[in-house]
Amino acid sequence: MNEPSYQPLPTDLEQTLRGMGGLEAPQELDHRVALSLTAVEPAPEELWTRVQSVLAEEASADVSSTTRILSFRRFAAAAAVMVVLGAGLWMGGVFSGASQGSVSLETLRDQYGARVLVLRVEPSQLSATAQGLAGSLGAPVSGGRSL
Partner 1 sequence: MDFEAAFSRLYALYKDRVYTICFRVTGNQDDALDAAQETMVTLARRISDFQFRSRFSSWVYRISVNAAIDTRRRRLDAPRGKVRTHVGSGKEEGWMADSTAEGRDSDPVVSAQRTESMQAVRDALTNINPKFASLLVLRYLQDLSYEQIAETLDCSLGTVKSRLNRAHTALREHLSQRGGTSHSIS
CB atoms within 10 A of CB 137: 12
Tell me which residues in 107-126 interact with partner 1 (CB under 8 A).
Answer: none
CA distances 102 to 46, 95, 98, Å, are 84, 11, 8
Among 1, 19, 119, 124, binds partner 1 (CB under 8 A): 19
Q: How far is the CB of 44 from partner 1 (least distance, A)?
A: 23
Burial of 104 (0-12, 13-18, 19+ CB in 10 A): exposed
CA distance 132 to 123: 10
Kindly tell me which of 23 and 54 has the beta carbon lying closer to partner 1.
23
Among 3, 45, 46, 58, binds partner 1 (CB under 8 A): 3
22-41 footprint of partner 1 as x/- string (CB under 8 A)? xxxxx-xxx-xx--xx----
Q: How far is the CB of 11 from partner 1 (least distance, A)?
A: 8
Tell whether residue 42 is a contact of partner 1 (CB under 8 A): no
- Are 128 and 136 within 8 A, CB to CB? no
Task: Report the SS3 class of residue 114.
Answer: coil
Tell whether residue 54 is a contact of partner 1 (CB under 8 A): no
Q: How far is the CB of 43 from partner 1 (least distance, A)?
A: 22
- Are 104 and 130 within 8 A, CB to CB? no
Chain contacts with partner 1 (rule: CB under 8 A): 3-4, 6-10, 12-14, 16-26, 28-30, 32-33, 36-37
